[in-house]
Amino acid sequence: MNFKQEWILHKDKQIRFIDYRNLNEEEMIERLRASMSDYQTVTTKILCLVDYSNSFISSKYFNILLSEGAAEIRKEKIEKTALIGLNLAKLAYLDIYKTLTHDQRIRVFERKEEALDWLAE
């Protein structure tokens, strides 16, 4: 799968957009690893919008998220993250992730515009 960086300009802020919409497990893992690699190249903290609409967070994806240094990279490189497209199962995974990583710079939104506004504050 070819993965290109996508940025959104919102209220004069550059926001990194990670699109997991409609991806299967392997595509999500590939996108996660590519994103973590991209984060390591930035020199300042970034704002991040992640869309999980119509996707399934598997235990394999979640374990990779926790075990391959993603949490550490996120703490170092990301100022705050807005998530959209979460259902109850995904919210449960998020609660576990936040508990295990102590990452409280994550908020969930129903609408993309609300998420972008919060990130641009």
User: For 35-49, what is each residue's pLDDT tens digit?
Assistant: 988 888 888 999 999
Taking CA atoms, 104 is separated from 46, 48, 109, in Å, by: 15, 14, 15
Judge whether residue 13 has pLDDT over 90: yes
> Tokens at residue 73, please?
């990279």
Q: How far is it, in rounded angstroms, from Cα 50 to Cα 115?
A: 10
* pLDDT, mean of residues 86-99: 90
The answer to whether residue 1 is domain-embedded is no
Which DSSP helix (H) or strand (E) runs through 17? strand 13-19
β-pairing verdict for 7-10 and 13-19: antiparallel
The answer to whether residue 2 is domain-embedded is no
Classify residue 79 as exposed, middle or buried by CB count within 10 Å of its CB (0-12, 13-18, 19+).
exposed
The answer to whether residue 20 is domain-embedded is yes
CATH code, domain carrying 102: 3.30.750
Domain that holds residue 69: 7-120
Q: How far is it, in rounded angstroms, from Cα 24 to Cα 22?
A: 7
* pLDDT, mean of residues 100-105: 86
Q: How many domains does the chain have?
A: 1
The answer to whether residue 63 is domain-embedded is yes
